[in-house]
């Protein structure tokens, strides 16, 4: 299989979802419990909002909302794209800035996967009708970064690429599981060299302490 097209990207932000509109993550004197199963989200919460607590929260969106309503947590931390597509925008109480809460690789974009044996003309037709070139460039850079980091959803890595004029800007990095250490860097490159930019970004993060941090993360995960 291979990815042959990338749809126009939805807003990439993480959002807090709750029935309680008065909850505010910035108010340190009013802590609350956030439900999430993402290692990146949990680590970033510990870094930027250490007064908040997290609990494991798995299942589809409806299941998570039901668990929240049952009192397992006060709010859920989710991707805006999924919340919007499922029609639960009215439950969003806070939209987290991408300058701090950098999203994970690929968030907000739907990729089209096809068998490598699929007819070439059919692949080309799918790309003509579906592929968004800006999304494609961004995702190629982000995925190359994550590949160089040798990571997936099990490590708290983040990566978000945008088009700025004729350049591709990639902000990416890694945060420790306890939120105490964070490596975040931005890179600028040519749009037609997205993969190279992502790979170089991953290499730079690794050489800037990321390799040692990854070893710590994997060691902690194995000990759980």
Whether 154 shows a pLDDT value over 90: the answer reads no
pLDDT in the model for residue 79: 97
Confidence of residue 177 (pLDDT cuts 50, 70, 90): very high
pLDDT of residue 222: 82
Alpha-carbon span 150 to 203, nearest angstrom:
11
Query: Is the pLDDT confidence value at 171 over 90?
Result: yes
Average pLDDT over residues 19-48: 96
46-55, 61-70, 117-126, 145-154 — which is least confidently predicted? 145-154
Query: Over the chain, what is the mean pLDDT?
Result: 95
Q: Is the dihedral of CA 162, 163, 167, 168 positive or negative?
A: positive
Helices (H) and strands (E) in the chain, counts: 7, 10
pLDDT at 159: 97
Q: What is the pLDDT of residues 78-97, one digit of tens each?
A: 999 999 999 999 999 999 99
Please check the confidence at residue 141 and state whether its pLDDT lies above 90.
Answer: yes
Six token digits for residue 53: 């607590």
Of 79, 83, 82, 84, nearest in space to 104 by CA: 79
43 neighbors 179 (Cβ within 8 angstroms): yes
Decide if pLDDT at 223 tops 80: no
């Amino acid at each position: 299989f291979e990815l042959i097209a990338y749809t126009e990207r939805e807003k990439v932000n993480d959002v807090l979802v709750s029935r309680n509109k008065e909850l505010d993550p910035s108010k340190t004197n009013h802590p609350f419990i956030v439900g999430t199963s993402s290692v990146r989200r949990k680590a970033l919460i510990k870094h930027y909002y250490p007064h908040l607590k997290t609990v494991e929260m798995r299942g589809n969106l409806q299941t998570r909302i039901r668990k929240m309503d049952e009192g397992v947590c006060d709010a859920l931390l989710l991707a805006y794209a999924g919340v919007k597509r499922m029609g639960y925008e009215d439950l969003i109480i806070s939209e987290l800035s991408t300058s701090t809460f950098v999203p994970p690789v690929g968030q907000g974009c739907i990729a089209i996967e096809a068998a490598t044996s699929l007819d070439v003309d059919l692949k080309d037709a799918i790309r003509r009708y579906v592929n968004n070139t800006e999304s494609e460039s961004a995702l190629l850079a982000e995925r190359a970064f994550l590949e160089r980091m040798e990571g997936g959803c099990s490590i708290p890595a983040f990566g978000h690429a945008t088009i700025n004029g004729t350049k591709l800007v990639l902000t990416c990095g890694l945060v420790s599981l306890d939120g105490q250490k964070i490596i975040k860097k931005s890179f600028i490159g040519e749009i037609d060299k997205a993969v190279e930019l992502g790979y170089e970004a991953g290499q730079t993060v690794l050489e800037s302490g990321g390799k040692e941090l990854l070893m710590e993360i994997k060691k902690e995960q194995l000990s759980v």
